[in-house]
Amino acid sequence: MTVTVAIDCMGGDHGPIVTVPAALELLRKHEDVCAILVGLEEKIRPLIPGELPSRLRLHHASEVVGMDESPALAIRNKKDSSMRVALDLVKSGEADACVSAGNTGALMAISRFVLKTLPGIDRPAICAILPTVSGHVHVLDLGANVDCSPEHLLQFGIMGASLVGALEHKDRPTVGILNIGEEDIKGNDVVKRAAELLKESGLNFIGNVEGDGLYKGEADVVVCDGFVGNVALKTSEGLAQMLATFLRQEFGRNLFTKMAAVVALPVLKHFKRRVDHRRYNGASLIGLKGIVLKSHGSADSFSFCNALERAADTVRSGVLQRISERVAQQHTIQEVN
């Protein structure tokens, strides 16, 4: 199948100087992918050498959503923004997925306004991949929904398990809920009730997962509300940056440590690759009637291309159908109970 990705070229900290080269690299690596570059044509076209590739086209959009702009104002006042137009292309069927590095709040709000949610899903969630000692884990929600009901957390579990099942071909991915302890009595009323619903859901629910369990790889999917998830994500990113700084400082302390750094260089390169957040770029706005991925705002071309590839993989996996089928099954289970 051919996959078409609509790219918000104007979003993020760097805009077209990152998004356009990433799109060209995507086309070079994947012959079954087409791309639509959405944004200010006068900014995009000069970055494409020669004639346009056959699988690439430009779609002019006259406005740009600022990184600090109000989501409500973006919906109301910027109907021809690159973000809105890219999402409109998904709604119309011209594109199979949309990728943006722009304003997260605006992207979520406009996506929900344009695409709507899947039947049986109350709220879309932000789902991202984090590295673990045994591979990786999908975590949701990471900031879209600060206050969640137990039913919302159940829906996050269904969506996360469906996503992992589709992308990684796992029949019964494990699902855990982020909590302050492994025991059933731990947590607030919302988390404890959500755990009960997850146990009854038919998902492969393994129970509570503590913060350190995220990186031990205790579950394929970990659910939490957006407040907790975003704090956990930002704390993890800060810790990784601090450790990288400490390593540079220690290896650069004197001539002996600099020589040690040369000897250790192959190990350090492998370590850097394993924890490189750029390899995991591309968070799914899951639960919508369309594939939407959010790239980190500061992404470089390598990182943004990874988000584009993740979007194409998500389309190929048929994840939207899997979520719809799993939600329908859950309604049947609830009716029987």
Indicate yes or no: pTM above 0.85: yes
pLDDT recorded at residue 128: 92
* Pairing outcome for strands 3-8 and 174-178: unpaired
pLDDT recorded at residue 41: 95
The amino acid at residue 16 is P
pLDDT recorded at residue 336: 58
pLDDT recorded at residue 285: 95
pLDDT profile of the chain (337 residues), mean per 10: 95 95 95 96 94 93 93 93 97 97 94 94 93 91 91 95 92 94 90 94 94 92 95 88 89 90 87 80 93 94 96 93 85 63
Q: Residue 276: what are its φ and ψ, rounded to 5°?
A: -65, 110
pLDDT recorded at residue 249: 93
pLDDT recorded at residue 275: 76
pLDDT recorded at residue 325: 85
pLDDT recorded at residue 326: 85
pLDDT in tens, 257-278: 989 888 888 888 888 777 777 8
Cβ-based neighbour number of residue 51 at 10 Å: 7
pLDDT recorded at residue 330: 76
